[in-house]
Amino acid sequence: MILARTFSISLAMALVGCAAEVSVDVDGDADGLLGSEEADLGTDPDLADSDGDGSNDGEELAANTNPLDGAEYPYKGGWAIDSCKSEIKGEGLAEGDVSEDFSLGDQFGQNVHLYSFCDRVVYLVFAAFW
């Protein structure tokens, strides 16, 4: 009889403990970002692709693109985008100057921006056939 009372008291204490509120940070939209990360970024925790550009928010962050800018997304060709792209400022067109950013179409039909390759040597070939 004493054993039964001890068990029922322990069970009641366990049930009371289960009623406590537990906060768990989850990735509700399966985009690779936890709810707290989405809150910090300002992205929608209920949408995997907050800006509607076809790439989920986690992929965009990993590719150094802005998950809130629909015009900025990872390149289909797999071209790596460097994180220093926003630190560059165009200077002019004289020899030795940093060019303004511009984009050209790649073989996948996407516009690829010069500043995406800020830590690399970029070799451009312009040709005309008459």
What is the model's pTM?
A: 0.65
Q: What is the mean pLDDT of the chain?
A: 83
Alpha-carbon span 86 to 73, nearest angstrom: 14
Q: Are strands 103-105 and 111-113 parallel, antiparallel or unpaired?
A: antiparallel
Q: Could you tell me the pLDDT band of residue 40, with boundaries at 50, 70 and 90? A: very high
Q: Could you tell me the pLDDT band of residue 1, with boundaries at 50, 70 and 90? A: very low
Alpha-carbon span 8 to 11, nearest angstrom: 5
60: pLDDT strictly greater than 60: yes
